[in-house]
Structure 1
């Protein structure tokens, strides 16, 4: 390690590794944004969005329910058999809509969905249903995870807004989502009722609550980041008084925080690297928090830091590898691979990881060590920022003071689950914030199948 690289690492660690005071600014900033979101109507770009789901499962529920998960790429329809004692059995059909379907008439698209539902009920998962359900003599409840903007007005009502992600369906914008589904089911002779519309983060919390009923937070930490938690209805001021008064005192409703759009320059410790990346993004000044820590951005942050080291002759002999100067050319999976490979002979992994770049001189083991250390610093900050969301959600609910029981967080997502040492780093950051005694009560548990199991459970709870 040269004197120059030592100086650069000291500067990088000072800027990227957050002090407790910096963490406090973020946690307090999030708590303020919770309060603001609870009273700001959920129109357009909104946070703290009510799900109208007012209970969590006990883990003892049984029966077979349907869920539908539509994202930008795939349609996934699942038959979820709740077996009790927190156990489930899932069978699914998966289809990718063609460009013609995504841009054609809305009723044709919903008919295509109805055909897939019929395939699941009558062929793929027939044995999970009763003869009455297969024949259409008994109604099947469906939970829909609709990964597009919806102005939701009830657990099973919502107006379709402009979709995005390549979808420009004709004659759907402004229509009620449940109505579009029910018309298609009627045309196909299916006795299926849309019982719930949900967000995938709310689904994650509900799905994990089936396996651990004490779950109080659902957090997705993947390409993007988001979180859900239960909030007292009386605190959700954005719901009009007449709606709030319908619920018994003390009722809690699950909220989709949309924490990905939290964060302002007033309290986020943005570095020159963050600002440079944000400037190159097609949506500058948007999702600043997510850009500092989610899987979509970590690789580019690392590349920009590495470019700074190269320009200061502290990496790759000051030579920019061909292709490395291209924006977004260093994905987060390269960071993950570098941090995972702790073997003595790292030249092999170098060829696998950096093989797409052309080097004038083969990088040394020292170069690989420097690049890996950069990855570690960038990903450690990511873990610290993730811990801020968890800490704020714990404090918003007063979970530390309420009891001495464990605090259960359902965690889902590739960055948390598959990035090496991420789980340990998030735990370490929570320990720094709460201290050993309280942090030992915080249990981060892997939550699976928010869209499928969560959707079916919410359909069950709603029906």
Structure 2
């Protein structure tokens, strides 16, 4: 060029060898590097499990710990003989779901439900308006399903149905129908609701619209999953959610929950604990194997240093971890030479669903991966690159599953569930568990790596609908408990 600079021009032809792509050997060299970075050894997993167990125990001793171990005031397991009609309301990040659950005993139930989509405007409005919308939808559902004389369940004038409300954001509770919000998601409800009693706000909305319900229980979805799964299969001991976020719940002996000793609850009683374990190893970062990509994800998040465990294993972040690796290789002039990479350089442009698709691509030429990169990012790839991308996705997905196994193992070890020959069932839900190929198998492999052969007695299974069925069963349990005069103020 007249300036003296050299202009490199790449002419594309049908001959793949002429394209400025990385060689198969180059990709293999890089893959070995990332295998070292993202692989968890059994010894490291056992160390993480031990640290995790200590964090769980500390959360039971004192309030305000990193893993908060929230008492839910759900007392003991369902008997399986609960009966009656109960309403459940599930407020998620996208939809509001209203359910009428007919609990029939013997682990059986029937459910009728309606969904109402939340608009972006509603998500940005203040909390009272958001709960007003919930109350309106609940009133509409009741009017349509329960007030007509020919409806299967005819609600008499003045009659009120018990309601279980699933609110999937962590709340501190000192009774089951009360909850002070601990952490609110940025961009969902513009004025920050942290520190407010969401049950009290919701009750104002129920009164405003004269909704014929009694708010019996405020729960989170993982606690609901625990109770629903046990109701259907009494061998279920733990519930876990591996989706956009992650969490676990299990039944703890009240004698071990030091921080609620002042409530004088019978020490032989059990209570469900909402672990909120996504916070494990936050702030100090002493135990989890964070890479530089994980650190970037954390620092660029809306809550830096918080939710450390969740940022390594949940569906919200896995695609971003892979994208950061690709961007590093782009910067090192290994990938996509001569191509415009601006689309893939946008944060969170690479969805975790893409990892799932890449791992499940059944074609020899990896045509699904061709489609992902060409359709979403206008990038051409070679077979060697596509094989590398799939192997990288597998490394990141496998690490997430093996870390998830550490969390399960910590609860199992703490509670001594492997000290008998009985199998320990874990009710599991969430998009990663249900849709990511091999995720459940990798959890099971991890549990065997931690416990040896007896780890095979820990079996995960698809959980029952905790936000609907579980919420209704908890409302039934709470009504029965209070009618019997057992801890009526809790």
* TM-score of the aligned structures, taking structure 1 as reference length: 0.88
Alignment of 1:454 with 2:470, yes or no, is yes
Counterpart of 2:417 in structure 1 is 399
Q: Distance in 1 between matches of 2:175 and 2:151?
A: 29
1:387 to 402, 405, 427: 405
Counterpart of 1:431 in structure 2 is 448
TM-aligned CA distance change 1:166 to 1:381, over 3 Å: closer
Q: Distance in 2 between matches of 1:312 and 1:288?
A: 28
TM-aligned CA distance change 1:301 to 1:323, over 3 Å: same
Counterpart of 1:343 in structure 2 is 363
TM-aligned CA distance change 1:67 to 1:314, over 3 Å: same
- After superposition, residues 1-400 of structure 1 pair within 5 angstroms as 2-42=24-64, 47-97=68-118, 110-124=131-145, 130-131=153-154, 134-148=155-169, 150-159=171-180, 165-167=187-189, 177-239=198-260, 241-243=261-263, 245-247=264-266, 249-263=267-281, 264-311=284-331, 314-316=334-336, 321-347=341-367, 349-359=369-379, 362-400=380-418
Q: Distance in 2 between matches of 1:106 and 1:96?
A: 16
TM-aligned CA distance change 1:417 to 1:125, over 3 Å: farther
Counterpart of 2:16 in structure 1 is none
Q: Is residue 146–residue 198 contact of structure 1 (8 Å, CA) maintained in 2?
A: yes
- Count of aligned pairs between the two proteins: 452
The offset of 1:149, in angstroms, is 5.0
Q: Distance in 1 between matches of 2:45 and 2:451?
A: 11
Q: Distance in 2 between matches of 1:82 and 1:238?
A: 33
Gaps of 5+ in 2: 1-22, 480-490
Gaps of 5+ in 1: none
The offset of 1:448, in angstroms, is 3.2
CA displacement, residues 327-355 of structure 1 (integer Å, 9 cap, x when unaligned) = 22211111111111121242354124541
Q: Which structure would you say has the larger Rg?
A: 2
Q: Distance in 2 between matches of 1:289 and 1:105?
A: 30
* TM-score of the aligned structures, taking structure 2 as reference length: 0.84
Q: Distance in 2 between matches of 1:109 and 1:74?
A: 12
The offset of 1:119, in angstroms, is 2.3
Q: Is residue 66–residue 142 contact of structure 1 (8 Å, CA) maintained in 2?
A: yes
CA displacement, residues 159-212 of structure 1 (integer Å, 9 cap, x when unaligned) = 467855432579x88775445444544454443111111011111111111111
TM-aligned CA distance change 1:216 to 1:136, over 3 Å: farther
Counterpart of 1:421 in structure 2 is 438
The offset of 1:293, in angstroms, is 1.5
Q: Is residue 293–residue 324 contact of structure 2 (8 Å, CA) maintained in 1?
A: yes
